[in-house]
Structure 1
Amino acid sequence: MSPSAKFFYVQVQQLNDADAFYANCLGMPTEATILHGQEKGILVKADDRTSIFLSEHKHQNQTNKIVLQSDDCLEDYCRLKSRGVVFKKTPSYLTEGLSAAFSDPYGNEFIILEQRNYNED
């Protein structure tokens, strides 16, 4: 994947509950913010290159599927599982690398991907 920054709009039903899930269960830094001078939301720093704007409103470019890059998928899986995250897919090997999948309480899907080159000598 490209090392460029990624920004996602994600719809949630309740900002306070979403803030607690993303900060406490996922361990991602969150910050209350206002978009376009009026819309309240929460900015989540998923990793060094990925930010997520949580909003109770629907956005034209919103998504409900986010791929998070990982240096160690198994470690992330165990850490998140110990915090109460329920996984839809346990770590498994794909052609792209090792991945695991979970959803937030609002049905937004996340894939943790540790990219691997299986053809290395």
Structure 2
Amino acid sequence: MFKLSTAQVWVHDQDEALAFYTEKLGMELRTDVTVPELGNFRWLTVGVPGQDVEIVLMAIPGAPMLDDATQAEIASLTAKGFAGTVFFTTDDCRKSYEELSARGVEFTETPEERPYGIDAGFRDPSGNSFRLTQVTGDLG
């Protein structure tokens, strides 16, 4: 059997992303390695304390991996929140919303009752979309 180890989000600025994920979301730095042999590629990961899964804060690459047009397209889609969504669960969505808001996280949607629970949305400085959900109903 296998298990999920990492998920990736595109970020415009790895240092800004690291500060957001550690200082505002309360995650911990897991890996920060620069590989000179790969053009100073930086492998940067964070994770929720007590969980094994890591989030890779991946800089949007340029040449030779991506041409300028593709790089710009990914950056644009990320900034608009359309490069994917990461889902977090919490025991108390409203309390987590208040705690994160107090740390400076700007929510795009305040906690609302849904058929499956209480749900809120926020984005990181690069525009990535996140959902914060307190599951109270049946998800199937």
TM over 0.5: yes
Instruction: Give the Cα–Cα distance (whole angstroms) in 2 for the partners of residues 73 and 53 of structure 1.
Output: 25
Q: Is the 8 A contact 1:28 1:46 kept in 2?
A: yes
- CA displacement at 1:50 relative to structure 2: 4.1
Aligned residue runs from structure 1 range 19-58, under 5 A? 19-34=18-33, 38=38, 39-46=41-48, 48=51, 50-57=53-60
**Is 1:14 matched with 2:16?**
no
- Alignment partner of 1:68 out of 62, 66, 88: 88
1:56 Cα deviation from its structure 2 partner: 0.4
Letter of the 1:69 counterpart: T
Q: Which sections of structure 1, spanning at least 5 residues, go unmatched?
A: none
CA distance in 2, matches of 1:15, 1:53: 10
Q: Which residue of 1 aligns with 2:125?
A: 105
The number of aligned residues is 113
TM-score (norm 1): 0.78
Residue 117 of structure 1 deviates from its aligned partner by: 2.4
Higher helix share: 2
Normalised by the length of structure 2, the TM-score is: 0.69
Moved over 2 A (4+): 4-7, 31-39, 46-51
Of 25-34 and 7-16, more deviation after overlay is shown by: 25-34
Give the C-alpha shift of residue 87 in structure 1: 0.5
Gap runs ≥5 in structure 2: 66-82
Residues 35 and 7 of structure 1: is their aligned pair in 2 closer, same or farther, counting only changes over 3 Å?
Answer: farther
**Cα distance 1:116–1:54, how it changes in 2: closer, same or farther (>3 A)?**
same
Cα distance per residue 1:5-54 (max 9 Å; x no partner):
46321111111111111111111112333499843132111363642100
40 and 93 in structure 1: CA distance in 2 versus 1, 3 angstrom threshold: same
Q: For residue 44 of structure 2, what is the amino acid of its counterpart? A: I
Partners of 1:15 and 1:6 lie apart in 2 by 20
1:64–1:107 CA contact under 8 A, matched in 2: no
